[in-house]
Amino acid sequence: MAKRAAPEVNAGSMADIAFLLLIFFLVTTTIETNQGLSARLPERQPVTEDAPPLRKRNVFEVMVNQNDQLLVENELMEIGDLREAAVAFLDNGGDGSCAYCQGTKDVNSSVNPNKAIISLRNQRGTSYKMYVAVQNELQAAYNVLRERERERLYPNEVSWTEMWAQYNAAKTSDARKDALKPKIEKLQELFPYKLSEAEPKKD
Amino acid sequence: MSKFKKKKSGDLPAVSTASLPDIVFMLLFFFMTVTVMKDSDLMVTNKVPTASEVQKLDKKDPVMYIYAGKPTMKYQKKAGTSNKVQINDKFVVPDEIPNFVLEYQSGLHQDLQNRFITALKIDEDTNMGIVTDVKEALRDANALKINYITKDGDPLVGLKK
């Protein structure tokens, strides 16, 4: 009676228990979608300050109404054509002061990318989906132009969007960030992002 | 009587399932490590729109989430069916947003405060009225860096022409 071998525990149900836990975690897992369009809101300005006068040719007016229709420079436009129109406007180089512009030098379009402003106005009834699509297309227009200049100035670098992503990621090394910084600043200077959002009219 | 018994044909040896628990445990640990427990229960519909020019938010960035959309079925009795803004676990009106932002910011470390980003997780069917109210409230709170959370994809698909 002194020595009795301890009975072995049956591990057959181990798999069942593990499966149960597995299914629980499978169900509760949500892959986080933390990506999106970055934007910067304008600071509150003192009301007394007069806005500097803008020449009409330097402003690219985009309006979206409550039926999600797009009015660009007072003409109806499909969202699919917006990117091209914005690129043409920014790249116009009307007064010849912009050496790298390849636009048509239209007299009714912007004089220089530094002066070109895109003005976006939406109404309270505009759908968020449409608004995001418009924002996306305008951002894309800048990305297209910056990528073109990147190819010209830094042909050995990764694409503009990739440069920007690396520059903003925390895991990128400091040395790489220092190398990217002047290039990014140069490209941003060539085509500065100037989007003005008017407060929507009450309707 | 032969010494060698003929093997019964058609009797396959059973596959050993002894390593099954190991495999399952491996999967289990994988999901346990990637799971993030949601700290707030979503009370609004949240189907974010698609966009192609997306920028990834870094895990290390201090991000505050603001949700907006129609209340889900469960909350429609209490909150109605019009678009609502949700922060943490409750519905708020846009005027209350600056308080939440300041509260969140004061809990942050000094050098993180200027990297503060507000992520707007807004349902694609929301109208811009409430989004504008949220944006104006954020301007009041001087929380100017925002991000419209989207899925990666073509934004033009599904837009009514």
Report domain extents, chain B.
Answer: 50-152
In whole angstroms, give the CA distance from residue A92 to residue A113. Answer: 8
Does B53 sit within 8 Å of A161, measured CB to CB? yes
**Range 143-202 of A in CB contact (< 8 A) with B:** 143, 161, 164-165, 168-170, 199-200
The total number of structural domains that make up chain A: 1
Provide the token pair at A123.
């109404």
Percent of chain A's residues with pLDDT above 70:
92
Closest Cα of chain A to B150: distance in Å? 5
Answer yes or no: is A47 within a domain.
Answer: no
Answer yes or no: is A39 within a domain.
Answer: no
Cα–Cα nearest to A131, from B84, B141, B135: B135
List the alpha helices (DSSP H) in chain B: 20-34, 73-79, 97-106, 128-140
Amino acid occupying residue A133:
A
Closest Cα of chain A to B74: distance in Å? 19
Confidence at residue A143, expressed as pLDDT on a 0 to 100 scale: 92
In whole angstroms, give the CA distance from residue B139 to residue B152. Answer: 27
Q: Where are the beta strands (DSSP E) in chain A?
A: 35-40, 59-64, 70-72, 75-77, 117-122, 195-197
Tens-digit pLDDT profile for residues A3-61: 677 777 777 787 788 888 888 888 877 666 678 888 888 887 776 666 677 778 888 99
Answer yes or no: is A67 within a domain.
Answer: yes
Does B53 sit within 8 Å of A169, measured CB to CB? no
On whether the CB atoms of residues A128 and A73 are closer than 8 A, the answer is no
Q: Residue A201 — very low, low, confident or very high, per pLDDT cuts 50/70/90?
A: low
Answer yes or no: is A2 within a domain.
Answer: no
Q: Residue B124: CB partners within 8 Å, gap ≥ 6? A: A127, A128, A129, A132, B47, B48, B49
Q: Which residues of A touch B52 (CB under 8 A)?
A: 136, 140
Domain containing A95 equals: 56-197
Residue A202 has pLDDT above 80, yes or no: no
Q: What is the dihedral of CA A132, A134, A136, A137, to 10 degrees?
A: 160
Residue B40 has pLDDT above 70, yes or no: no
B63: nearest CA partner in chain A: A34
Answer yes or no: is A105 within a domain.
Answer: yes
Tens-digit pLDDT profile for residues A51-93: 677 778 888 999 998 888 899 988 898 888 999 999 999 888 8
Answer yes or no: is A5 within a domain.
Answer: no
In whole angstroms, give the CA distance from residue B155 to residue B152. Answer: 9
Q: What fold characterizes domain B50-152?
A: Nucleotidyltransferase; domain 5 (3.30.420)
In whole angstroms, give the CA distance from residue A203 to residue A67. Answer: 12
On whether the CB atoms of residues A147 and A161 are closer than 8 A, the answer is yes
**Range 58-87 of A in CB contact (< 8 A) with B:** 66, 68, 78-80
Q: Which residues of A touch B147 (CB under 8 A)?
A: 36-39
SS3 B47: coil
Sort A179 into a burial class: Cβ within 10 Å, 0-12 / 13-18 / 19+.
Answer: middle
Strands A70-72 and B145-149: unpaired
